[in-house]
Structure 1
Amino acid sequence: MRRRLITTRARTMRRAMTEPEVILWSRLRGRSDDKPTFRRQHPFANIILDFYCPSAALAVEIDGRTHWHDEAQAKDDARDFWLKQQGVDVLRIPASSVYHDLDNVVDGILRRAAARQQMRLAPSTNRSSLRSAAGPPPAAPRGR
């Protein structure tokens, strides 16, 4: 039941994306051999990521004014810490950067995704121990 609620909420959020999210999505969307695939408003456990690249385990979060306050930053830090325990790298981008420096933002995201994909393809230790010891995700935020 909880999973269905998060999925429904993610679908609703896809229809109500913020302007910086829409702008960035216009550059990240699409599938090609030379570009990683991103998903928008992607459910991950009981949270919803602005953008997620599964092949790189990379979350991209666009932070507007609601993320400037101490309480919001503490929640973001808790989410980021939990996601890192799950093997997901989080890249936080100020919404103002999307408006003022879109080319560099997109280039940075694609470079980070490519580096993460290479790292994930390299032989590594067993990642399952990270997931089993991580505990539950932080509580879903109320509102947006």
Structure 2
Amino acid sequence: MPRQAIYTLRFLCSMTFMPDVPPQFLKRARLLRQRTTKSEEIFWRRVRNRQLAGLKFRRQVPIHGIVVDLACLAHRLVVEIDGGIHELPEVRARDQDRDAKLLNFGYRVMRFSDRAVFEALETLVDIIENQVRKRTPSPPIPLP
């Protein structure tokens, strides 16, 4: 496939998924993906490629002007991995504001400390899987 066709295809695909995302948010998300924290990298390795209950996660995703750590867009689920800085009152207030905005757009936000990622990764994975299972409707029972 010619190089120009590949670039055009990538552009069209990006427009399909995020048509309303300003370029500065895409640029910021790319930068954050390059500067990921150790805890985010560990968590990402565990959930990428549909390893968590077949869920498709993306990292450093811009959603309505907010770049989130990880998101499963199909289930409108956001996962934030918080370092120690998030314990400061002003940062906590900013996080609560972000969470409220995401909730208004229909997203569930789950926050975990980076310490929890280092110490109990599989427990976090189980918590997320249980939350998704609770909110996912069961398939209809076929009639006899």
The code of the aligned residue for 2:31 comes to T
Q: Which string of whole-angstrom CA distances, capped at 9 and with x for unpartnered residues, describes residues 91-128 of structure 1?
A: 00011000000110111122223333339x99xxxxxx
Q: How does 1:1-144 map to 2 (within 5 A)?
A: 3-31=22-50, 34-118=53-137
Q: Take 1:116 and 1:79, find their aligned partners in 2: how far apart are those partners? A: 22
- Residue 52 of structure 1 aligns to a residue whose secondary structure is strand
Within 2, Cα distance between the matches of 1:28 and 1:13?
Answer: 18
The TM-score with structure 1 as length reference comes to 0.76
What letter is aligned with 1:99? Answer: F
- Figure out how many residues of one structure are paired with residues of the other and give that number: 121
Point out 4+ residue stretches in structure 1 off by more than 6 angstroms.
Answer: none
Contact in 2 for aligned 1:40/1:51 (Cα 8 Å):
yes
Shift of 1:72: 0.4
% identity of equivalent residues:
34
In 2, Cα distance between equivalents of 1:99 and 1:6: 29
Rounded Cα–Cα distance in structure 1 between residues aligned with 2:44 and 2:56 = 11
Name the SS for the 1:48 alignment partner.
Answer: strand
Structure 2, gaps ≥5 residues long: 1-19
Residue 30 of structure 1 aligns to a residue in which SS?
helix
How far apart, CA to CA, are the structure 2 residues paired with 1:7 and 1:105?
A: 28
| Larger radius of gyration between Structure 1 and Structure 2 | 2
Q: Measure the CA separation in 2 of the matches of 1:41 and 1:33.
A: 18
**Larger helix proportion, structure 1 or 2?**
2
Residues 91 and 34 of structure 1, relative CA distance in 2, 3 Å threshold: closer
Q: Given residue 132 of structure 2, which amino acid in structure 1 is its aligned partner?
A: A
